[in-house]
Amino acid sequence: MDPRQNPFTPGAGTQPPELAGREEILEDATITLARAKLGRAPKSMLLVGLRGVGKTVLLRRIEDLAQQQDYLSAFVEWHEARSLSEALLPKLRSILLRLDALKNVNERVKKALRVLKSFAKVRVKYEDIEVYLDIDPESGVADSGALDSDLADLMVAVADAAKARGAAVAIIIDEMQFLEEDELSALIMSIHAVAQKGLPLVLMGAGLPQLIGRTGRAKSYAERLFAFPSVGPLSRREARDAIQEPVKRMGVSFSKASVERIFEMTRGYPYFLQEWGYHSWNLADRSPIGRVVIDRASQRAIRKLDESFFRVRLDRLTPAEKRYLRAMAELGPGPHRSGDIAAVLKVRVQSVAPTRSNLIKKGMIYSPSHGDTAFTVPLFDEFLKREIPSRS
């Protein structure tokens, strides 16, 4: 088929041609947004799932939903070099300036701008053009230097400004598991403060499964503030829709056996479905696209994954971390007991505990329950066995 017409979109955060199996999450998000706008303090949603399941894509859709409900939104992408404050400030600033530009002068919006200035003064270089504001800071608010209370002051001021204008604010944060402990804790506390006042501001986030535990450790009341919808692989039927619907719109179809084979190979993981769909389309010369094509596409898709998706993750690891993961792979897809992994390595559990905890920090593995360890990247065990055939 014509590669220029290829409907599939393997990538990071790229909208798929058919967003299969996520109706419930999007419906919940719609309700959450509507309730937050009314000041009903709904639970904020933190989407949790493995690599490549479609978390970023969902956050983008949620941002669209928010805008349809006349929200002003701040989408924060994680960036290694920046703190949460640095990432949030320019976005909140532009929200406030938009609120300020609406209709006549509003004292609560002006106050929020002064609070933002106070907050910024403590945390970012004053000359930073992105947060520059020609206004005096609100002294004594958001300038204590304690991130917890300062961020809460700022969020409450922003939410209050939105309320004064009949608007609402959505803070959307991706890769939340990488926030520092104090940032996560401050974020939770500020959402708590906003919720208690019934102000129209909501947090919509996403992260790897370790986010759940990190949130609970940062603030014990977090579980009452947040819902953690899980974003998983697609079911057989959803996976069929994900690949069949886009080609159907172009007068093409996959044979039943092809769909079945793609599901088997991808286990329904969204990113893999895009990759398989993409290569199958390029290799096919007639419809329905048959099994022989799928087998050739599988080889290409696996090669592509090995060179990029899997590869970049392995390249960031130390030799000891690689050995730990390779030992896990030896045991299969997981989850595995820490003791079993140590046994494969022929060492004591305690001696590899630091390696394990670094791998969790790097987002490579997580602990689904106490003493268990699992990969955050689907099918990573099979990749490791291809990449490092023997463990010597």
Ligand X SMILES: Nc1ncnc2c1ncn2[C@@H]1O[C@H](COP(=O)(O)OP(=O)(O)OP(=O)(O)O)[C@@H](O)[C@H]1O
Enumerate binding residues for Mg ion (CB under 5 A).
56
Decide: is 83 part of the binding site for ligand X (CB under 6 A).
no
User: Closest by alpha carbon to 277, among 231, 249, 237, 242?
Assistant: 242
Q: Please, are residues 223 and 192 in contact by the beta-carbon 8 Å criterion?
A: no
> CA 357, 185, 131 angle in degrees (round to 5)?
110
Per CB under 6 A, 20 contacts ligand X: yes
Per CB under 6 A, 57 contacts ligand X? yes
Q: Which is nearer to ligand X, 21 or 334 (CB)?
A: 21
Name which of 190 and 274 has its Cβ closer to ligand X: 274
Residue 9 touches ligand X, criterion: CB under 6 A: yes
Element (H, E) at 387: helix 380-387
Q: Which of 178, 271, 278, 375 binds ligand X (CB under 6 A)?
A: 271
**Residue 10 or 229: which CB sits closer to ligand X?**
10
SS3 call for 199: coil
Q: Name the segment binding ligand X (CB under 6 A); options: 20-28, 29-37, 184-192, 330-338.
A: 20-28
Q: Which stretch binds ligand X (CB under 6 A): 11-19, 75-83, 96-104, 350-358?
A: 11-19
Q: Pick one of 6, 32, 44, 56: the residue that binds ligand X (CB under 6 A).
A: 56
Q: Residue 14: which of ligand X, Mg ion, none does it interact with, CB under 5 to 8 A by kind? A: ligand X
Q: Is 55 in the site for ligand X (CB under 6 A)?
A: yes
Counting every residue written for the chain, the total comes to 392
Question: Does the footprint of ligand X cover residue 53 (CB under 6 A)?
Answer: yes
What radius of gyration do the chain's Cα atoms show?
A: 23
Is 194 in contact with 156 (CB distance < 8 Å)? yes
Which of 317, 320, 324, 354 has its CA nearest to residue 340?
Answer: 324
Does 51 participate in binding ligand X (rule CB under 6 A)? yes
Taking the complex as a whole, how short is the minimal distance between the CB of residue 59 and ligand X, in angstroms? Answer: 8
Q: What's the distance, Cα to Cα, between the start and end of the chain in Å?
A: 44
Among ligand X, Mg ion, none, the one that 290 touches (CB under a kind-dependent 5 to 8 A) is: none
Q: How far is the CB of 73 from ligand X (least distance, A)?
A: 17
Residue choice 11, 39, 288, 290 for contact with ligand X (CB under 6 A): 11
Only one of the segments 14-22, 107-115, 218-226, 288-296 lies at the binding site for ligand X (rule: CB under 6 A); that segment is 14-22
The amino acid occupying position 286 is R
**List 6, 73, 190, 274, residue binding ligand X (CB under 6 A):** 274
Q: Choose the binding region for ligand X from 64-72, 270-278, 339-347, 382-390 (rule: CB under 6 A).
A: 270-278
* Residue 85 near which of ligand X, Mg ion, none (CB within 5-8 Å, type-dependent): none
Quote the tokens at residue 117: 């200035």
Q: Tell me the torsion sign for CA atoms 289, 290, 293, 295.
A: positive
Q: What minimum distance in Å lies between the beta carbon of 206 and ligand X?
A: 7
Q: Counting contacts by CB under 6 A, is residue 232 touching ligand X? A: no
Q: Which does 106 bind (CB under 5 to 8 A by kind): ligand X, Mg ion, none?
A: none
Letter for the amino acid at 368?
P
Residue 301 as a binder of ligand X (CB under 6 A): the answer is no
CA distance 293 to 261: 11
Q: Contact, 279 vs 265, CB < 8 A?
A: no
Q: Is the dihedral of CA 45, 46, 50, 51 positive or negative?
A: positive
* Short-list 147, 223, 231, CA closest to 190: 147
Partner touching 205 among ligand X, Mg ion, none, CB below 5 to 8 Å by kind: none
Cα(210)–Cα(62) distance, integer angstroms: 22
User: Is the omega angle on the peptide bond into residue 246 within 30 degrees of 0, that is, cis?
Assistant: no
Judged by CB under 6 A, does residue 378 bind ligand X? no
Task: For 237-344, list the strands marked E by DSSP.
Answer: 336-337
**Going by C-beta distance under 8 Å and a sequence separation of 6 or more, which residues neighbour residue 340?**
331
Q: Which is nearer to ligand X, 202 or 231 (CB)?
A: 231
Residues of this chain that interact with ligand X (CB under 6 A) are 9-14, 16, 19-22, 49, 51-57, 242, 270-271, 273-274
